[in-house]
Amino acid sequence: MGIKDIAALSGVSPATVSRTLRNPELVNKDTRKKVMKAVKESGYRPNRFGSSLRTRQSGNIVVVMPDITHQVNAGIIRAIESEAQKHGYSVLLGDTQGLIERERHYADMVNSGQADGILLFTPRLPFDVDPDQPLLKQLPPLVSGNETIPVEGLCRVSVNNTAGARAATEYLLSLGHRRIAAVLGASDAPSNQERLDGYHQAMDEAGLQVDPQWIVAGDYSTDSGMAAMEKLLKLRQRPTAVFCFNDDMAIGALNVLHQYGFAIPQDISVMGFDDIRYAALMRPALTTIHQPLEDIGRAAMQLLLEQLNGRQPKNNYVELPFELIVRQSTGPVPLQGESE
């Protein structure tokens, strides 16, 4: 059941069969019909490897993520896959489990021709590059998402983390909060630095001095959110609002606060970032910054498709809109908070 059989079946040459399937406009209408008929009847599917070997195109893309188990990543990859399939590409899953060696392993797939392009949601470029050559020329079709790698000219897509964090902080300020803590994400994540910038911008513009104790380390995990909250509660001057740089940490914070008997948001306000599905289902429901996961995934894939089709996209940075979602975990600053 190779292309030769179809050729024989329809009385033409393999070349014509191939053309019928890939460039129908090159073949006469009647011939086309004959071939199509034979294809249908035999259920012939071109062998991908024969084709790939010849064309040097795999029809695969690989998406590299630190942990597909996180809502945010799962949502994004789902959109990617949908968009990819629409354009005839299959997606190879690359969950790095946080290991750099794995990042390299997946990067290798595109080097070895197993994938035509790569979607990177990790904060590094896992490629060996010659520092003397222009970087971009050495990279395969690639787009960086979320943890956007700041390389001039690199295709990137994400929400504006800085503006998002700033909007979050400004919202807390608008509620009257002045002592606003920030729980940071993974220290090697660009998104973390960006969000921190946004926080600082808002505080600066409000003319507020930030007590360094209000800035506490985390790593985007729920546990780190809990630990951070514990630390904040021990401060002499407790913050009246806590802005966690993602929802998981905010959920951790919520739990610690409950445990210590605090009322939210009466005693203390909590904000997240991401708007994962469970944010709305918490008690109290979490105020947060929404990320349009589907749009991110789709945009990333589209940017990659441009490159795969040989066009260098005009806009190599796609910035998607975030949205402030006000729920019940934030409220006006408590009175004693003001007066203290």
Partner DNA sequence: GCACAAGATGCAAACGTTTTCATACAGAGG
Partner DNA sequence: CCTCTGTATGAAAACGTTTGCATCTTGTGC
Residue 238 touches a second copy, criterion: CB under 8 A: no
Residue 31 touches DNA, criterion: CB under 7 A: yes
Residue 24 touches DNA, criterion: CB under 7 A: no
- Spatial neighbors of 222 by CB under 8 A, at least 6 apart, are 248, 249, 251, 252, 255
What residue 78 binds from DNA, a second copy, none (CB within 5 to 8 A, per partner kind)? a second copy
Nearest by Cα to 271 from 256, 291, 255, 286: 286
| Most distant CA atoms of the chain, gap in Å | 91
The DSSP bridge partners found for residue 288 are 325
Given a contact cutoff of 8 angstroms between Cβ atoms, the answer to whether 313 and 95 are in contact is no
What is the secondary structure of 49-114 as a DSSP string? HHHHHHH---SEEEEEES-TTSHHHHHHHHHHHHHHHHTT-EEEEEE-TT-HHHHHHHHHHHHTTS
Residue given tokens 């079946």 in the structure block: 9
Residue 59 touches DNA, criterion: CB under 7 A: no
Subset of 245-264 contacting a second copy (CB under 8 A)? 251-252, 254-255, 258
Tell me the closest approach of the beta carbon of residue 143 to DNA, in angstroms. 25
Binding mask 99-138 for a second copy (x = CB under 8 A): ---x--x--xx-xxxx------------------------
Subset of 2-21 contacting DNA (CB under 7 A)? 2-4, 11-19, 21
Query: What distance in Å separates the CA atoms of residue 283 and residue 255, rounded to the nearest whole number?
Result: 10
Residue type for 274, please? Answer: D
Given a contact cutoff of 8 angstroms between Cβ atoms, the answer to whether 180 and 214 are in contact is yes
Binding mask 2-41 for a second copy (x = CB under 8 A): ----------------------------------------
Binding mask 261-300 for DNA (x = CB under 7 A): ----------------------------------------
Tell me the closest approach of the beta carbon of residue 161 to a second copy, in angstroms. 22
Given a contact cutoff of 8 angstroms between Cβ atoms, the answer to whether 80 and 63 are in contact is yes
Residue 49 touches DNA, criterion: CB under 7 A: yes
For a second copy, the binding residues (CB under 8 A) are 45-50, 52-53, 58, 60, 67-69, 71, 74-75, 77-78, 81-82, 85, 90-95, 97, 102, 105, 108-109, 111-114, 222, 251-252, 254-255, 258, 277-278, 281-283
